[in-house]
Each structure stands twice: as C-alpha cells, then as structure tokens.
A and B are shown apart, each in its own frame.
Chain A
Amino acid sequence: MSPRAACRLDTLGFEHVYDYMPGKVDWLARGLSREGEKATEPRAVDFADRDVVTCHLGDRIGSIRARVEASPYGFAFVTTDGGILLGRLRKAAVDADPDVTAEAVLEPGPSTVRADTSPARLRERLERSGLKTAVISDPDGRLLGIVRRADLPTDE
C-alpha cells in the first residue's frame, strides 16, 4: 500500500518522498513509542529487564563470570559491538575453563520474541514450554532485554 501512496505523491509533485516499507509492524516490533487508542496496552517489552550481562565473541570466560554471578539470571549473552545477539552463555559454559573465549562455548541463535508480543500470550507460551524467561530482540536482531515469566500478567 505504501509504495502506491509514495508513487501517487510523486505524481502530485512532491520531490522528497520516502517509503518506510517495513512499516508499522517494524516500528512496533522495535518496542518504540506509539500513539492511538491501543497505545497504552502493555507489550512484552514493557516488562523487560534491559540490564543483562553481555559480552563479545573474543571475551574470556574468566572475565565474564563475576558479572554473571552478580546478575539474577545465571547466564550471559554474546553480542556484536552493535548489540546484535549472537548467542547465549549458559551457567555451565560460564563455569567452564576461564581461558576459553565466549565464541568457543556459546549456544548460537537463542530464540527471541518481538517487543510488541502480548504479555499474556507470552506468559502462556513460556508456561507451555516450561521456560522461565524470554529474550526480546528487535527486527535487526538487537538484544532489547529479558522478560521473566513471573513478571508477566495472566490476563490482558
């Protein structure tokens, strides 16, 4: 729809027309602010803890362990400099040889959910799967945070 609208504006003489093709779905999946009647409805990202332990591929496990032990989660995430999520370091990996790199022991491609996922629906999914946490990322794969099942409401 937006390509046709952009083309129409072009034919009407507008010289600087841009089409944000990823659209509203992309914006909402980033957990960005919005306006309108549904703008106050909570989303999964509203329950996210953004203060999670992250490291880079080349970091030594020994340099990460203390931060993980001080966090409430017992795991860490491996990201790029730009925050793109590459993998997870579970407790067993963090307790392993302190001289190995994160790259050597990471669990690649952890599952993530969109920022605008319904909190009640996410809670149901986590309960069905027996999981206590969900990882939230944006459409570019950038880590946004962790949501704990216990923090999510049961009803919408």
Chain B
Amino acid sequence: MTTRIVELRKGILKKNDELAAGLRGRFGQAGVLVLNLVSSPGTGKTAFLERTLKELRDRGARVAALVGDLETDNDARRLAASGAPVRQINTHGICHLDAEMIDKHLAGWEGVELDGLDYLFIENVGNLVCPSSYDLGEKVRVALLSVTEGEDKPLKYPTLFNSADAAVITKMDLAEPCGFDRELALKNINEIRPGIRIFETSSKTGVGMGEWLDYLAAERSRERFGRP
C-alpha cells in the first residue's frame, strides 16, 4: 500500500460559477440589467420590489422578476399585480437560489425574452448567509436591511454585506418609532463595505425611491453602453 497526495485545486462551486458566468454574458449581450435582491425574511424585499416594478413601468421601462421562495407563490402573485411578468422559483427547502435555477426558469418563460427587457430582478430566498456564496450572473447585488432589524445587522452578516454592490434600507417610515439610529446604520454598512451606495427608502411612502430609480437607470445604461 502506498499513500499519495493528489493536488486538485478545484473550486467547490465551479459548476455554479461557470453557469453564472454564462448567464452574465447573455444578460450583457441582451442589454438587460440584472439585480439580485438579498435580505433576511421580513425586511420587505417583496414590498420594495412591488414599488420598484410599478414605478419603473410608470417610467416606461420593460421589467420582469424571478422570485425565490421555499414553498409558496404568494410573493409572485403580489408582484404580478404590478403588471410585470413574474415567475416563481420554489426551492423546496433549499435556502438560496443558484445559477441553475435561474437558467431553468428563464427557459420557456412565456412572453419573456431577455432582449425585450430593460431590467430583470431576482428576489432571493430570505436569508443573509447562504445566498452570498451563489453567483446568479447578476450585475448588481443588493443587500436590504430594514429599520426594524437593528443597526448592527451588517456587522453580524459581513459576508453578505461585503459582497453587495448597493445597500437599501427599507421601512424608513418606521425609523422614528423604532428608535432607528441612522448614523450608526450607515457607519456599520460602510465599515463592512466602504464606499457602497446606500438608499434610504420606504415602500409605503415612496421616500428615497426616486434616487433608487435614477441609480438603476444609470447602471442600466452602463450595462447597455459600457462604462463612460
């Protein structure tokens, strides 16, 4: 018997990463800006997305959404009320979306062609840990945090907040009754992801949505026309 060491040096999520790279290429070619929304359960991802879809449509943009959920299609039904095409991805207990699920649900999505879209939103499963490992081919990863969750959430989940391209604080209309320490929250986000764009929003009152939509438009034109 002889023992030997075999060097493998292989990425464990290589298959996902390769699939995601392929998706990113397709999104880029179609000129659609793809965003991956990640947060804890209850942050208000769906309400935020509902408002975003509606306001983008009011501005004449072509939008669609893929919505991850463990079991139900409640979120998809809520979002479909905006008039945008919405497709549910049930993960059946899996705590995150992966590139293969995105690929599968893009295929055969009736009435939706990537070429015909300006924005595609992917609402991830509510979870601040696992989704950070899985690239979905998105251009922009958005980490959401509500004022009711506590200002130290970014410090507790640095892996997710550090991997984000933009941060959205939701439920700003509740900031005062919750005693939300805005300065501290902004400082904590910046401590984990220095210089990140932060949007302070309320899906209920619409505060902060204008700035968010302008950011989306700018990111989209960069995706379509390249960096200036």
The yes or no verdict on A and B being binding partners is no
